[in-house]
Amino acid sequence: MSYFSHPSTSNNYIVSTKYIFVTGGVTSSLGKGIICASLGRLLTARGLNVTIQKLDPYINVDPGTMNPYEHGEVYVTDDGAETDLDLGHYERFLDLPTSQQNNVTTGRIYYDVIKKERKGAYLGKTIQVVPHITDEIKSRVRTLGETGHYDVVIVEVGGTVGDIEGLPYIEAVRQMRYDVGRRNSLSIHLTLVPYLKAAGEVKTKPTQHSVKMLQESGLMPDILVCRAEVPLEPGIRRKIAQFCNVEVEDVIASLDASSIYEVPLLMLEEGLDRRVIEKLDIPDRGEPDLQGWKTFVQAVQQPESTVEIALVGKYVEHHDAYMSIVEAFIHAGAVNRAKVRIRWVQSEDLTASNVAERLGKVSGVLVAPGFGGRGIDGKLAAVEHARVNDIPFFGICLGMQCAVIEFARNRCGMEGANSAEFDSATPFPVIDIMPEQKNIKNMGGTMRLGKYDCHLEEGTRAHTAYGAADISERHRHRFELNNELRDQLETCGLRVSGTNPDRGLVEIVEIPENRWFVGVQFHPELKSTVSKPHPLFVDFVKAALEFQADR
Ligand code: GLN
C-alpha cells in the first residue's frame, strides 16, 4: 500500500510513486551506491516504502559472466538474478529483498528490444535509441513504481556523466521527469569537491563542469551531494550553489566516513532526507527513527575486542570480489561486540609447507566461493590445517566443496577424491555436476541460482545457530555433493546437517567432533543485513572469539 493518500496527476501519467534519480560526475568510485542506500535508509526510517534500482550502462546482459577482478562480487537475489554488487548495499541498508527488476543493464535492454523486433512488435518502424531504447529503459523504471508497493523508487544511474554508454539513460531520466512531473521526481547529482593540498583550497570547478555537462543533456540537478575530504565552508557551499543553479541548502557535503554504515547518519546531519521530502511534497511525519541503526554503528565503532579470521580465496587482491562476506563479518562482529579483522590469504600461494605460517594465530578460517581450478590446492591445505588443528572453519560454496574433498581424501581414504569441476576422471567424484547442468552450453544465467529451501537436522551446529528447522538461502553454483558417495562420507564422520527437501541435495555439512566446522553449499553472506545479521556468521565469529580466549 502506498503511503500517499492522494496520488497527484501530472502530464499523461497518474503518479503515486516518487522517483529519485541519482547520477554521478567527475569520477567513478564516489560511492553512489552507498549514497542511494543511505538515502533509502533515511526515507525508510521516516516510514516510507522505498526500493532502489540500479541502471548499469554496460552491454553484458548481467554481470554473471564477468570476472570478479573486473566487476567485483556478483550479487544474487532471491529470484535468482545475477546482479551488481550495489544491490547488496541496498538490501543490507534497507533490509528488503531486491529482484531482477532492481537491476537493468544496456545488454538486457537491447536483448529485449531486439527480441521484440524479431517478433514483429515494431513492424514497419526503424528501431532507434530514441524512442525505442529510452522507452524500454523508462518502462523498466516504471515497472517498479507501478507495483504499487513503493512510495519512493530511487534510481541509481551507473557510470559517470559524460560516458558515451550512459547517454540513453540520461535521456530516459530527462523524459521521465517530464512524464511524471517535477513534484514527483528529483535529480540528485553526486560529485567530487577535491582539496588541493599545494593550494590549501577546495576546488569547485570539477563540480561546475560536471553539472554543466548534465545540463547540456537537459537534466537539472535539484540536489548536489559533494564528496569531500574536508568540511565545506559556507562560502564554498554558496559558490557551488550559485554556479550550479541550486539553493545553498541543496549543497550536501559527504565527508569520508570511517564506516559506510555511518553515511546515513552523516546525510541526516546534512539534511539530505529533509530536502528530499520537501522537494517531493512528501508529508513530514517527524524525524526518522534510527535508534537501532545508531546502536549498530556504535557497536561497529567501539568494539570490545578484535578477532582475526583468515579469508582464503583467489581474488583477495580485490576485496570487492568478497564484498558481502566482508559486510557479513561487520554485522556479525557487532552482535559479538567485536571487530573482525580479515587476514587476506591468496589461495594460489598456499602450500602444505607454508600453511601453518600463513594461517598462524588466526582464530578462524573461511574458505571462499569461486570457480575453476586455480588455487584449489591452497584451499585444500587451508581446510586441512583448520580441521586438524580444530580452528573454527567456515566453507562457503566452493569452500564447502573443498572441505568435502579434503575430508574424503584424508579421513575416508578416498585417494584422488575431487570435484568433477577440476578432474572429470577422478575415482571419487565427491562433488559432481548436477544432472540438469550436464547438457547446458550457455554460460549466462544457467547455474543453480537464487532461493532454495533447506531443512536442518536437530542437534547440529546449523540448527542451533539458526534456531529453526526450515530456512531458505541463495545459491550460485553448478556442482553438488554427490549423493552416491554421501553414505561413505557420513560413515567416516561427516554430518549432513541441511538438505533441500525437494531434491535431497546436500546443503550443509559439519564435522561434529570439531569445535566449529561448517560448510554450506549456498551463500549466506548475501542475506546478512544490518538488522538481521546472518546467524551462521554470528555463530562463527562467536566460536572464533571463544577459540581465541581458550588459546
Ligand atoms: N565452482 C563451484 C560450482 O560451480 C562453486 C561455485 C561457488 O563457489 N559459487 O559449483
Tens-level pLDDT at each residue, the chain (551 residues): 444 433 443 443 334 899 999 999 988 889 999 999 999 999 999 999 999 999 999 999 888 888 888 889 999 999 999 999 999 999 999 999 999 999 999 999 999 999 999 999 998 899 999 999 999 999 999 999 999 999 999 999 999 999 999 999 999 999 999 999 989 999 999 999 999 999 999 999 999 999 999 999 999 999 999 999 999 999 999 999 999 999 999 999 999 999 999 999 999 999 999 999 999 999 988 899 999 999 999 999 999 999 999 999 999 999 999 999 999 999 999 999 999 999 999 999 999 999 999 999 999 999 999 999 999 999 999 999 999 999 999 999 999 999 999 999 999 999 999 999 999 999 999 999 987 777 777 777 788 999 999 999 999 999 999 999 999 999 999 999 999 999 999 999 999 999 999 999 999 999 999 999 999 999 999 999 999 999 999 999 999 999 999 98
Nearest CA to ligand 1 atom 3: 477
pTM of the entire predicted model:
0.94
pLDDT at 61: 87
Nearest CA to ligand 1 atom 1: 371
- Rounded to 5 degrees, φ, ψ at 84 are -65, 145
Return d(Cα 135, Cα 172) in angstroms, integer.
7
Judge if the beta carbon of residue 522 lies within 6 A of ligand 1: no
Judge if the beta carbon of residue 461 lies within 6 A of ligand 1: no
Return d(Cα 393, Cα 385) in angstroms, integer.
10
Judge if the beta carbon of residue 475 lies within 6 A of ligand 1: no
What is the whole-number distance in angstroms between the Cα of residue 543 and the centre of ligand 1? 26
Judge if the beta carbon of residue 369 lies within 6 A of ligand 1: yes
What is the whole-number distance in angstroms between the Cα of residue 399 and the centre of ligand 1? 9
Query: Position of cell 532471491?
Result: 78
Q: Which atom of ligand 1 is nearest to the CA of 523?
A: 9
- Residues with catalytic annotation? 397, 523, 525
Nearest CA to ligand 1 atom 5: 398
Return d(Cα 426, Cα 265) in angstroms, integer.
54
What is the whole-number distance in angstroms between the Cα of residue 401 and the centre of ligand 1? 8
If you ran DSSP here, which 8-state letter would residue 164 be given?
Answer: G
Return d(Cα 249, Cα 241) in angstroms, integer.
8
What is the whole-number distance in angstroms between the Cα of residue 476 and the centre of ligand 1? 7
Q: Which atom of ligand 1 is nearest to the CA of 371?
A: 1
Query: Position of cell 540500479?
Result: 54
pLDDT at 442: 77
Q: Provide the angle, in degrees to the nearest 10, between the axes of the packed helices 167-180 and 134-145.
A: 50
Judge if the beta carbon of residue 421 lies within 6 A of ligand 1: yes
Judge if the beta carbon of residue 370 lies within 6 A of ligand 1: yes
What dihedral do alpha carbons 121, 126, 129, 133 form, nearest 10°? 0
Return d(Cα 319, Cα 113) in angstroms, integer.
36
What is the whole-number distance in angstroms between the Cα of residue 312 and the centre of ligand 1? 15
What is the whole-number distance in angstroms between the Cα of residue 232 and the centre of ligand 1? 47
What is the whole-number distance in angstroms between the Cα of residue 479 and the centre of ligand 1? 6
Judge if the beta carbon of residue 367 lies within 6 A of ligand 1: no
Judge if the beta carbon of residue 398 lies within 6 A of ligand 1: yes
pLDDT at 496: 98
Return d(Cα 264, Cα 273) in angstroms, integer.
9
CA 139 vs CA 104, 109, 127, 145, 176: distances in Å: 11, 10, 16, 10, 10
Judge if the beta carbon of residue 321 lies within 6 A of ligand 1: no
pLDDT at 264: 98
**Burial classification of residue 106, based on how many CB atoms lie within 10 Å of its CB (0-12 exposed, 13-18 middle, 19 or more buried):** buried
Judge if the beta carbon of residue 476 lies within 6 A of ligand 1: yes
8 A C-beta contact, residue 470 and residue 380: no
Q: Which atom of ligand 1 is nearest to the CA of 399?
A: 8
Q: Which atom of ligand 1 is nearest to the CA of 368?
A: 8
CA 274 vs CA 20, 248, 252, 280: distances in Å: 14, 14, 11, 10
pLDDT at 359: 97
Nearest CA to ligand 1 atom 6: 477
What is the whole-number distance in angstroms between the Cα of residue 478 and the centre of ligand 1? 6
Q: Which three cell numbers stand for residue 102?
A: 532492481
Q: Which three cell numbers stand for residue 133?
A: 531504447
pLDDT at 543: 98
Judge if the beta carbon of residue 477 lies within 6 A of ligand 1: yes
